[in-house]
Chain A
Amino acid sequence: MKNFVSLNFVSTMKKFMPESPGKYPINPGVTVKELFAELGIPSDATKLVFINGVRKDTEYILNGGEKVGIFPPLSGG
């Protein structure tokens, strides 16, 4: 059974955006890390992931229905 998550890619992470990021199918129980691998996001690309507006690490387990925000590190000034 597939559930769906909503993916929000910011800045340089947009290059990893799949088709229909607002309704991306996942297998419930998949971790953020596994989702990243599926999307081709290198494991060292970012540490900054927000699930439903709250920072989580990449071991977080998705069940479907979550909003996932994926940000690159920025450091310009």
Chain B
Amino acid sequence: MTNIPAKIKKLAKQSTFPDGEPYTGISVANTFNISDESGYSQREIEICALGENIIPERYIRNMRTYTLEEQVLLLKSTVSIIGLGGLGGAVSEILARGGVGTLNIADGDCFEDSNLNRQLFSSEELLEKPKADAGAKRIKAINSSIDVNHFKTFFDEENAPEILKNADVVVDCLDNLSIRFTLEEIAKKRGIPFVSAAVAGSAGHITTIFPEDPGLELIYGNRRNVPHKGAETSLGCLPHTVTTIAAIECSEVFKVLLKNGAILKNQLLVVDLMDNMIEVYKLL
């Protein structure tokens, strides 16, 4: 990578933040060009640029809240997203735009009509097509610097090592209770922080579980007695609720990856949009 910094500097341009402060940036098109010429991936070019104090323009609106070093950390991070429905589609899209470098995405389902109200990867032309294929294509279209490993399979103990490979965080975007407990158990065994959320109607909740935490049993009770589904069977899943909750899951993922902010460890953030209620409760 000896001559890459020089190439980046040559193609970089001076610009200013909205408040007038100057920065040096490199465009998406020039990142593509250097990648094509050198054979290094776009992500490697972006990481190299950030090391030279040159900001890839695609992440410029992440800056000032995040530092260049933090953007590098995001680009070097891996997140596994389990379930690509309402939560998983929005979570994948947000993490890809934010610049989380590797996304492992898994769902064995195909899109059906009832998904169209809320699942961002779904569209009329993709009905009956695998969600994981649609997700990989969409993520690449948003940010081709991201490495996507997609799995057209439902998460289970057997495929867990592949789906959770190198994961710094795993995001629970599942839609039933029994498999959530299995995912939690495996994430804990592998020492991976676990962001979990669930929705029904206008309500939802989010928590972040570390390997040492009691976790889901504090929300749902003993694993052996939990029902398969919750209140969503009678209330459905609304597009604005599921997207709100997905965004809060991503907020937790970014904070865990960057080790900043207040994390919902042993806490439950509860939202009910019908009442404009957002509250954080202590689970311990």
Contacts and interface: CB of A to CB of B under 8 A. Distances in A.
A73 B219 CA distance: 7
B173 A74 contact: no
B235 interface: yes
B235 A77 contact: no
Contact of B230 (A50, A55, A72): A72
B197 A77 contact: yes
A11 B218 CA distance: 19
Interface string B246-277: 00000000000000000000001010100001
A1 interface: no
A77 B242 contact: yes
B174 A71 contact: no
Interface residues of B, number: 45
Contact of B229 (A10, A71, A75): A75
B173 A11 contact: no
Given A73-B230, A76-B232, A10 B272 contact: yes
Interface stretch (B48-56, B59-67, B81-89, B144-152): B81-89
A11 B273 CA distance: 10
Contact of A75 (B175, B236, B268, B281): B175
A59 B231 CA distance: 24
Q: How large is the interface on A (under 10, 10 to 19, 20 to 34, 35 or more residues)?
A: 10 to 19
Contacts of A71: 205, 270
A12 B231 contact: yes
Contacts of A12: 200-201, 231, 234-235
B74 interface: no
Interface in B104-159: none
A12 B198 CA distance: 14
Nearest to A53: B281
A50 B199 CA distance: 19
A73 to B, nearest CB: 4
Residue from A10, A75, A76 whose CB has the most chain B CB atoms within 10 Å: A76
B200 A11 contact: yes
A72 B200 contact: yes
A55 B216 CA distance: 13
Contacts of B1: none
B43 interface: no
B160 interface: no
A55 to B, nearest CB: 5
A70 to B, nearest CB: 11
A65 B178 CA distance: 37
A48 interface: yes
Contacts of B270: 10, 69, 71
Interface of B: 83, 85-88, 173-177, 180, 197-205, 218-221, 226-227, 229-232, 234-237, 242, 268, 270, 272, 277, 279-284
